[in-house]
Amino acid sequence: MGELYMPRHVGIIMDGNGRWAKKRGLPRQIGHTYGAQTFKNIARYISKQGVKVLTLYAFSTENWKRPAEEVNAIMKIFHQYLVDSLTDFRDDDIKVVFIGDRSVFSPELIDLINESEEVAKDRKGMLLNIAMNYGGRDEIVRAVKNICRDVKENKTDIESISEKDIEKYLYTANQPDPDLIIRTGGEHRLSNFLLYQAAYSEFYSMDILWPDFKPKDFDKAVEEFNRRNRRFGGV
């Protein structure tokens, strides 16, 4: 294969932390700790490959259904990541933003999220979307509510509503749609991830559990992406 075309926007569903720990006789939350380290390593590697936008699915709107002990552990890891993020990725020039409904988090977490984004806002490198308390359906509902508000306030009329109007109210407004979505853990579903944006994304699933995901596995996914014939509904 010749020179590879690097997707502009990559989404990753980071699945398998709990199973990784269970295979080793460890508590599920330990898997999340190892998964968080993989997240940092892989984000840095992908940034160096020339990807413009990376969206990592960290915690979904449905993940609150998990055992309280596991959810609490994830929130502690998230808190520590936010503390670290004030300096993390600075040398890599990665711009970090958080997508999802942050209103449910503690005031301390919300302040840390805002501070992390403020610290990174002028960076010029890869845009890293971290999806926390994110759900694709919830995102679409949020967009619809905002459009309804615009109609009610006479900022737009129903007949003129277009795809562009929906897109500008998504968390990923002004970003390219994902070219490639990778899922670890062997499952073959989107699990409410970027539902609107993924209309023509290439999907690649691998059996590797997220803590074991390495740069070579990303390279393999990109190689497969380059074999795909993307027709976008055409012939």
Three-class SS state of 184: coil
The rounded distance, in Å, linking the Cα atoms of 110 and 120 is 16
pLDDT score recorded for residue 214: 98
Three-class SS state of 99: strand
For the segment 145-186, what is each residue's pLDDT rounded down to a tens digit?
Answer: 999 999 999 999 999 999 999 999 999 999 999 999 999 999
Three-class SS state of 10: strand
Q: Is 15 a catalytic residue?
A: yes
For the segment 9-28, what is each residue's pLDDT rounded down to a tens digit?
Answer: 999 999 999 999 999 999 99
Three-class SS state of 205: strand
Q: Would you say residue 61 has pLDDT above 60?
A: yes
Alpha-carbon radius of gyration of the chain: 18
Domain 9-135+176-226: top CATH class: alpha beta
pLDDT score recorded for residue 2: 58
Q: Which residues contact 11 (CB under 8 A, 6 or more apart)?
A: 54, 55, 56, 57, 178, 180, 181, 182, 193, 194, 198, 201
Cβ atoms of 206 and 217 closer than 8 Å: yes
Q: Would you say residue 235 has pLDDT above 60?
A: no
The active-site residue out of 15, 88, 138, 177 is: 15
Share of the chain above pLDDT 90, in %: 79
From the list 50, 142, 126, the residue with the least C-alpha distance to 91 is 126
pTM: 0.93
How confident is the model over 55-69, as a mean pLDDT? 91
Q: Would you say residue 206 has pLDDT above 70?
A: yes
The rounded distance, in Å, linking the Cα atoms of 96 and 40 is 12
The active-site residue out of 63, 146, 192, 226 is: 63
Q: What angle do CA 52, 57, 63 make, to 5 degrees?
A: 165
- When pLDDT is cut at 50, 70 and 90, the band that residue 136 belongs to is very high
Q: Would you say residue 81 has pLDDT above 90?
A: no
- When pLDDT is cut at 50, 70 and 90, the band that residue 88 belongs to is confident
Cβ atoms of 96 and 130 closer than 8 Å: yes
